[in-house]
Structure 1
Amino acid sequence: MDEAEFMRGRVYGADHDDPGPRARRSYAQLIGGPLDGLLLDITQTPEEERGGGVSLVTELGRYGPGGRAAYAPRPGDPGRFDWRGDTP
């Protein structure tokens, strides 16, 4: 299994031993970029705050450990967040 296949369907920030989505939680799928295929738990984020997107810490992006990957909701499909680029 390659890294992309391993990460697909896992929850961002979850422990590797406990990767699965939980019942009664809301998730957005991350599309593109270094976190492609991961799920982002958006349960505690009010809908009006989701429009600004998120900046997620990752070791997999252009800037390596400590860098961030920026994602924003896909217009018309709030269940998907598209990659916007990496930042230091």
Structure 2
Amino acid sequence: MNGDEQLLRGRVYGHDHDDPDPGPRPGQTYAHLIGGPLDGLLLDVTGWTPKEMDSGAALPTELGQFPGGRALYGPGPDEPRLAGPGVTCRFYHCGDSP
């Protein structure tokens, strides 16, 4: 695991690495990002509709195949989603985009 990967573990995507509390917040809903450059991060999906959840996310990152591009994540087929706060599902890396 390189230094960039160690910085990401247990953090919420979009929280600054200098944030004194970069972890999940009570009452929020998260997808756990699996694989790719953002592996191990949590994505806040609080308030996302089922359609938005099905579409996944294109997340800006400097860590992917295209620095300054986007890492693409989406739910796996038949991936269970729990209701309520906490980590309720997983989004899997499915590619990178410039």
Is the shorter-chain TM-score for this pair beyond 0.5, marking a shared fold? yes
Any idea what the Cα deviations from partners look like across 1:23-48, whole Å, max 9, x if unmatched? 00000000000000000000021123
The residue aligned with 2:51 is 48
Counterparts in 2 of 1:1-80, with a 5 A limit? 2-16=3-17, 17=19, 18-64=21-67, 66-75=68-77, 76-78=79-81, 79-80=89-90
Give the Å deviation of 1:20. 1.1
The residue aligned with 2:95 is 85
In structure 1, runs of 5+ residues without a counterpart are none
Give RMSD over aligned pairs: 1.5
Select the structure with the greater relative contact order (CA < 8 A; seq sep ≥ 6).
2
- Displaced runs of 4+ in structure 1, greater than 4 A? none
Superposition TM-score, scaled by structure 1 size: 0.89
Superposition TM-score, scaled by structure 2 size: 0.81
For 2:47 and 2:63, how far apart are their aligned partners in 1? 25
**Identity of matched residues, %:** 55
3-state DSSP of counterpart to 2:55: coil
Residue correspondences, number: 87
